[in-house]
Structure formats: C-alpha cells, structure tokens
Chains A and B, each alone.
Chain A
Amino acid sequence: MGKISNQELIQKISSKFADRVSTFSEPMGLLTFETSKEEIIEVLTFLKNDLDFNFLTDITGIHYPEQEMPIGVIYHLHSFRQNVRVRIKVFLEEQNPSIPTAFNLWRGADWMERETYDFFGVQFEGHPDLRRILNMDDMVAFPMRKEFPLEDPNRVDKKDFFFGR
C-alpha cells in the first residue's frame, strides 16, 4: 500500500462523522482536526480499525487560558503501512476536565494518559491506574497549567535583597 493523501483522509473522515469533527488544517503537512470528548473514542476506533492507523505516537495536553475550552488533549496517530500521520485535538472545560481513556484501544496510552493527568489534571475515565507518573506523589498542583509558577518558591538566592534592590 502506498501513501494515502490528506485529501483522501479528510474525505473518509468527513463522510463518516460529518459535523462531529471540525477545523481541518494541515500545518507542515500534518493533517489536524478537532472533535469532542463524546466522539473521541469512536473517532480513534474508526481511525485504528478502518483507516489502519495502528500506532499511537503520543497523547499530550495543552493549556490556552484565553479560550472558552482551555484544556486540550492532543492525540498523534501514525499509520505504518500508509506512511501517514494525523493529529486530533479535543478541548475541555477548565474545571475538572475529563475524557474517556484510549487504554482499551492502545495499551501504550496508559503512561501517556498518566503524564497528561500529571501535568494538566485531565481525568481519563476508565483508566486502570490514573496516578502521577513524573512528579512527586504528594504534589497538589498541575504544573504545566499556565497559572502555575515554574520557578521554585523555596529559592532564596534570587531575592532582590541580594542585588541591592
């Protein structure tokens, strides 16, 4: 099988999901579209089983505080046989964002979802073991959200006092 074009993919996805997917774009040639948390598992299942996107490259998050739906969950899929990738974005509300888990489609989603939970606080419903993976267990904040200060508040050697201010 050769490489499938983005236009073909858009056509196949649109004819299946119609207005349940939106905002198609191709930044740097990478097909990108948005969907909702109600549709995401159906979209992923369709891509995996019918369009042969066998590999889940990554699940990650993003935070745009100025948007109405500020927390994003981003899926990257790769089809080895067709040599093509897609990116799917789902935006969620800021308070207690939650989305169904992709663990049942790809076991590799386990740690990716834990990481997204760790840094953005997204609850993945149905995940078998959703706890922090990289940060300390006793951390209470979600550090990649924009309101979180990145600098360590315990550090004293940068205080103005030491610079005569």
Chain B
Amino acid sequence: MSLDVYQRLLALSQGRAVPAASRAHRHLSPRPWLLTGYHLAGEPSAPVAIRYGSFRDSPKLLTVAEPRDRALRFAALGGLARDLATYLSRYTVTEPVVRATGNGRELDVDQCCVDAPQLVVPNEATAHWVGLLGQYLRTLDDPVLAAAGAHLGWIASRRHLPGSSVLLTATDLLTTHWRTGQLPTEDGHLGRLLAWIEPPAGSDAWQAARDAEAMPPAGPASDPSWDQVVLRPALERAKEQGDVRRLKLAAAEVLDGAWRDTWAAIDLVRMLPPGEHVAKRWESDRWSWTRHRERVLAGTVSFSARLSDVPAYRFLHELETRTAALERQMALDDPLVMARYLATGEAVAGVVIKRDPEHTVVNSGGRSVLRPLLWVRTPAAFDRPAGTELWWGKVGMVVRGSTDDTVELMVTSGAVTRPKLGLLPDADAEVVLAPFGPLQYFPDNLPDELPWPTRSSRPQAAPEPEQDDDLDTDLAALAPQTVASSPDPGDTAGAGRVPGHRAAPDGAVAPTEPRGAR
C-alpha cells in the first residue's frame, strides 16, 4: 500500500520510526504471562533456558543442565507446567451472559469467563516454539505435562486467528503500530525494532539498530558463537560437576535483553488509547477460553495435524470473516488506519458542497422512494466507477458519477425516510466516506450437498505403515542396543491420543463469537 511505503520513506529520512496507528489494536492484559527462552540448536523439544512469569522484576528462570536428558527435561518442564496452571487458575471466574441462540430468535443464558489469560513472547519464532512445546508436551504420559501441552496448544491455535490477543508477539505489537525505514524482514528482530521506535538519546536509529543486532538474539534459537563460547562450557560444567551456577548466570544474562525488550514493547503500546472494538474482539477470546476450559474439564481436548473437509471449510470461513472484520474495525477505530484506504483511493475525504434530500427514484415496484443526493468536493479525483458503495457511519450510498473534484452520491440506506433525514451530513460538513458499512454477517451454513467429495463417501485410505521406533534424542537412546529395545513410549502414546477422524482443532475452529452460535 502506498501509505505504508510513504511511512517507511518518512522513517528512513528521519532516522526514526513513524506511527502507523494512533490506537492500540490489541488487547493488553493487566497481567500478561511473558515467556522468553532458548532451545538447543535444531531441537525445539530440548529447552536450555526459559524465563517466564507475569512480574517484570521477579521472573522465574528455568535451566536444563543436559537438555537431551529426558529426566532433567521433564523435571524442568514440570515446573513450567505447574506455574502455567497456577497462572491460568486465575481466569476461572465466570459470569452469566445472555446470548442469542437458534438463528437469533431465542435468548439463552450462558457462562463466560470474565477474563482470559494472555501470553506475550518476543518474536514470531518464539510464538511458533510455544506451539511446538505444546505439541511435544501432549505426547508425554505425565498428566501435568500433557495438561500444560493442551493449554499451550489452545494458546498457539489462537495465534493464527486475526484479531485474537491470546498469544501476542512483541514484534507484531510494534509493527502493527509503527513503521520503520528498514527491510521488513529486519523488523522481525525485536531489538532493532525498538531501536527504531525509541533510539537511545544521542544516537540515530541506524546506529542503535546495529548496536541492538550485536546483542544476543531474542531466541528461541541462540547465536552459534554464543553456543560455542558460553553455552557449551556452562553446560559441560553443569553436567560434569553438577554446578549449574554458571549456566544460570549465562542464561539470565542472555535472556535479560529479550525479557526487558518484550516489556518495553508492551509499555509502548499501553501508552496508546485502546481502539473501540478491541474489547469486543477480546470477548471472542474470552468465549474461546471458556470453551477450552469446558473441554479440559470434560477431557475432550484434541488437536489434529490436518483438518478434514468440513472443519477446514469452517476454519477458512472463520479466517475470512475475522480478517474482514479486523480490517473494518481497525479502520473505523483509527484515523491512521483509515488513511491507508484514503491513500489507495478506496475511501474518500471531502466537503459536502450540495445536498438534495428530497430526491426520489421510482423503484422496481413502481413506487416512488426517497433517495437523497449528496455532492462532495474532493482534493483529488475519485477514480472508482459509478455504483461503488460507500458508507458514512450507518448511512450507505452509491457513487453516481465523479468529476475531477466532485463525487455525486445517492443515499441508499440509513437515511431514506423522512424522520431519518436528519442523519444526513450537513452542507459544508467535512466527511470521510469509507468502504466499511455496518458489520456484515455471513452465516456459515453448509449447502445440502458438499461440492467436494466428503470423507464418508471416499474409500478409506489404507492406514499408513506405522513406524514405531521413533527415537528420542535422549543420550541413553543413542546407544544402538537401546535403540532397538526401547521404542519411544511418548510418541506412540501421542499417536493414539490424536484421533485422525475427529479433526476438531478446538479453539481454532469452534465457533467462538456469540454471533456464530448455531
């Protein structure tokens, strides 16, 4: 979009990020749970150090002296699982909510959690890792670890839904609200991003960004030379002499930057006034959390690697609906976001120069109906064709024609009866006509016959040959004789627990907005 490019060029020439939003478009919990960490290079299931907690000054630090040793790994992850459960237990209070059911004709009282948990991580890679960690934990037999895996799975599944604030990444928080003058891929580095938004006194963004780059990365993959120079000696000392002080020190030092930066990102966004629709979007997260809790209590949590046809249809439908709703809500909440549509010419700003409230047309039924006309003077030619629909709040109109500096519009909804004519903009009023009308609701009813072969009508595929010797990277398992005799109990158990036919990825697909109640 041209506004995006313009903002990047401005930032480039000023050596400082420029605002891309004037409202906070993500819900920020008063008590988020932050998680930063490192795993062993190439092994997401082998964490080396994780720093987490909801208190800025007293985070918990977890280190694993030998990340490839299953017993040590489980002990450490067990601590994380218990702390996560404690944090989540704060969000069990529910309140009765009246909601419409059955096509909106009947009312029903349902219980919804008054607040939901929120996890904040420094970058996309860590957010992805949270999902992997959840997936790994779910393959284990330990009930505490498996429960934590289910929760992390729900949290990670919300990441893909536009407008959800359950799992936030600091880099996404900042790129939503600011534009930098660097490569978009460089925006994925949290330190660089912060350097652009708030360069330390006396240095420009370029220098600050280079300094930030020299710091250890925000994880979860560490720097190869740090692995070699710091981590390796520390891990060896911890393993051989049982002395974990050096490891704890190294981990605390290296995770400190990411921890501080993540909080700094939250602070920056907290300074913006929240957008009007943010609370409404958070409500959908609260419903999803409520449903997830119900499934956990009933023991019916399940995740599937691939969606089968109908859930896939529902998931795509939800993604599309949410994307459209998020774009619309952000634009209506925030002039800086609306400016993107002005820049592309989808929206138009101008002054009402003439009105004809008495204009009528004859409709298809032969009756004469009121369709007021407006003429709006615009700074540049409006280049969309006649028939384009635009809205001014709840007043809908279509473009009848346009010249170099004027658009002629006919009001078609919102103010087409005499008592409502007062809702029309006054002459000389400055208006922004946007392509966003009242919320559109697309029911996701499936047709009677699916236009694609469904699972039931398709011959069952032969079951894949099961490879039962999924080796763990456990040190003991690396010895060849153990390999043959000890198949990984974790994976086979996991394979049994994830039912292929029940492809409901929980929160990801289940209707979460009250509006979607069927």
Partners in one complex: no
Interface of A toward B, CB cutoff 8 Å: none
Interface of B toward A, CB cutoff 8 Å: none
